[in-house]
Amino acid sequence: MIAVRGGRAAYHQGCEREKTIVALSYCLYIVPMDLERRQHFMRLALDEARQAFEEAETPVGAVVVFEDKVIGRGHNQTERLHDATAHAEMIALSAAFNYFGDWRLQDCTLFSTLEPCPMCAGAAVLSRIKTIVYGVTDPKFGACGSILDIPSEKRLNHHVEVIGGVMEAEVSELMKLFFQQVRKNKARIN
């Protein structure tokens, strides 16, 4: 509570003090906690990406989070399933739909190691998801700001907040390792 005693000036002083306290706690507590939380769930998405790597799939992993709980997870399975739609995000979203028995994911966050493609970004928008958090940008298929920007497309009737670059170094390292191996295997065959 702010003391109003002393009139308008004291009230404003109180307001300013409270604003400073709020700003300080935002800097010291809320922001790092948010960052930690993002990194925690990105680490779980990265575990999924590693799983894809072990299965010789392009190493992309995703998790869907609701109230700090993972309700869907998936990794890329396009090779194994011979299915161009078997992206990590699609699999994680499907699991989340099953969890709720509903296609609406309003208060959920989709964490993906790679910037979602047009299909996955579209699915996230259709599911009314709140936020997409991704690790590295995808200059070939990225649809969350790189090539297209589906989550912010004004003509669509739902918009999704996007946060990119979370644990970028770790994700990049895994992707680089994978493509190095692909090149080595190709060289061996040729």
Which residues lie near Zn ion (CB under 5 A)?
87, 117, 119-120
CB of 29 to Zn ion, least distance (A): 35
Contact assessment for residue 70 and residue 99, using Cβ atoms and an 8 Å cutoff = no
CB of 125 to Zn ion, least distance (A): 13
Q: Say which residues have a Cβ less than 8 Å from residue 35's Cβ, sequence separation at least 6.
A: none
Helix, strand, coil fractions of the chain, as percent rounded to 5: 50, 15, 30
Q: Which of 11, 141 has the CB closer to Zn ion?
A: 141
Q: Which of 30, 46 has the CB closer to Zn ion?
A: 46
Catalytic residue among 16, 89, 115, 173: 89
CB of 164 to Zn ion, least distance (A): 15
Q: Which of 110, 167 has the CB closer to Zn ion?
A: 110
CA distance 175 to 161: 25
Whether 89 sits among the annotated catalytic residues: the reply is yes
Tokens describing residue 182: 């692909």
CA distance 185 to 182: 5
CB of 85 to Zn ion, least distance (A): 8
CA distance 37 to 34: 5
Distances (CA, A) of 149 to 29, 51, 113, 166: 31, 28, 17, 18
Residues acting as catalytic residues: 89
